[in-house]
Amino acid sequence: MRSTVLLLVIVIFLLACSSPPIPKPSGYFRIDLPQKAYTTFESSCNFSMEVPKYSKVNVFKDRTGSDSCWFNVDFPRFNASVYCTYFTVNKDVNELVKEAYQFAAKHELKATALKRTPIDQPQNNVYGIFYDIEGEAASQVQFFVTDSTANFLRGSLYFNNRPNPDSIAPVLDFVREDLLKMANSVKWNISATQHE
């Protein structure tokens, strides 16, 4: 009986090895994207905006322990963060816009294209530029918005892994919509903008 089982195993082994192995094609993990839903983030820095419900806002503290105007909108599910900074304009809006432009332009070395989309929300006194940076740049999406006299907000998306346009494309497209919503939903605190 043992010799029959052993013979059967050897025959199966030889038959299985007669054809060359076929490698599996490379692929990526399936990504389940959540339903789009937003909530209002009220900043202590003179503005509010809509952020995705599946994100987490982390506000940094200053030296006194108060909320600073630096915060991240984290997407733990996608291993990504939007680094945001709010500035009070003090007759330096041109310098802030120049810095935002230079910050986006730094990524052009690795980028295959840099697309600029204007943000124009006159009903909320919000104007700016939304940057799409294609290719293997470290930050694929950036934006800034301002009212030109009192408020300036800048945001940059980073994935916490090596940029690979093919593997992050579905998530990047999904999160890009969220950043566009965030930038277009900014509302300045009325008391902050009345000192024009």
Residues 108-123: tens digit of each pLDDT: 666 677 889 999 999 9
pLDDT at 145: 96
90, part of any domain: yes
pLDDT at 112: 72
**What's the chain's average pLDDT?**
84
The residue segments making up the domain with residue 116 are 38-193
Select the more confidently predicted residue: 20 or 81.
81
Q: In what order do the strands lie in the sheet with 38-42?
A: 38-42, 47-52, 187-188
Quickly count: other Cβ atoms within 10 Å of residue 72's Cβ. Answer: 17
- Token reading at 54: 């599946």
Count of domains forming the chain: 1
157, part of any domain: yes
Which helix (H) or strand (E) element contains residue 189? none
Question: Rounded to two decimals, what is the model's pTM?
Answer: 0.77
- Token reading at 122: 């006159």
11, part of any domain: no
Q: Which of 21-30, 38-47, 82-91 has the lowest mean pLDDT?
A: 21-30
**Residue 27 — pLDDT band, cuts 50, 70, 90?**
low
